[in-house]
Amino acid sequence: KAGVTQTPRYLIKTRGQQVTLSCSPISGHRSVSWYQQTPGQGLQFLFEYFSETQRNKGNFPGRFSGRQFSNSRSEMNVSTLELGDSALYLCASSRSGDASTDTQYFGPGTRLTVL
Amino acid sequence: KQEVTQIPAALSVPEGENLVLNCSFTDSAIYNLQWFRQDPGKGLTSLLLIQSSQREQTSGRLNASLDKSSGRSTLYIAASQPGDSATYLCAVVNSGGSNYKLTFGKGTLLTVNP
């Protein structure tokens, strides 16, 4: 069974640009969550999608957005990039998205560097 | 607001040693606590999940305990091996709010020296 895949693995952008990251969940999983990992803040929750609907959103500015397609694949977009957006972006998939009962499986992440 | 703290931030031990990683959380209203492992260049791998009603979980050389009332968890690794070198993260799912997200600590970087 293939794991969670994320593309691209590495990205270099300049300030002011926008970027789109992609996540393909494990087959049969309908929930995709996104996290940002930085050395200073650690792992922080961005948002979670289930059946194309955003169910929960973390405390990030509106420049961070996402969507989910009917095949459960998800994309996240960051507009008007800032230096502080440099981070490892991880997505996780699960069957129901209910982290109280459902194991979440993480992808390898996309390393975004903003210059 | 839930805060998760992990001590120590880094730990270096010789191969074969038994070791304990610590995790504390400020809000005891949780559904579960999970331990993950993160290898460089790779995502997180779930190691153990302890429901709030449980006291411990074991998997191979790993044993995780949970004391919800005191807001603490420990991950015990027996007979450590160089392959155990990684960053270990603990995370909780709060029962007082959204149960769709994990709140993580910043991790403990473990190095096991041959």
The chain B residues in contact with chain A (CB within 8 A) are 31-32, 36, 41-46, 49, 89, 91, 93, 95, 98-107
Residue pair B44/B36 in contact (Cβ under 8 Å)? The answer is yes
Task: Out of B31, B49, B99, name the one closest to residue A103 (CB).
Answer: B49
What is the 3-class SS of A17-67, one letter each residue? CCEEEEEECCCCCCEEEEEEEECCCEEEEEEEEECCEEEEECCCCCCEEEE
Report pLDDT digits (tens) over B47-56. Answer: 999 998 999 9
Given the structure tokens 């038994």, which residue do they identify?
B18
Contacts across the A-B interface (CB distance below 8 Å): 59
Name the band, by pLDDT with cuts 50, 70 and 90, for residue B41: confident
| A46 in contact with chain B, both atoms CB, cutoff 8 A | no
Contacting residues of A for B87, CB less than 8 Å apart? none
Question: According to the model, what pLDDT value does residue A11 have?
Answer: 96
Report pLDDT digits (tens) over B85-100. Answer: 999 999 998 886 666 7
How far, in Å, CA of A51 to CA of A32, rounded?
9
**Residue B71 tokens, joined:** 């807001």
Question: According to the model, what pLDDT value does residue A1 have?
Answer: 67
Inspect the interface and report whether the beta carbons of A99 and B31 lie closer than 8 Å. Answer: yes
Contacting residues of B for A98, CB less than 8 Å apart? 99-100
Question: According to the model, what pLDDT value does residue B90 have?
Answer: 97
In tens digits, chain A (115 residues) has pLDDT values of 689 999 999 999 999 999 999 999 999 999 999 999 998 899 999 999 999 999 889 999 999 999 999 999 999 999 999 999 999 999 999 998 777 778 889 999 999 999 9
Give the pairing type, strands B30-38 and B10-14.
Answer: unpaired
Q: A102-111, B13-22, B74-83: which range is least confident on average?
A: A102-111
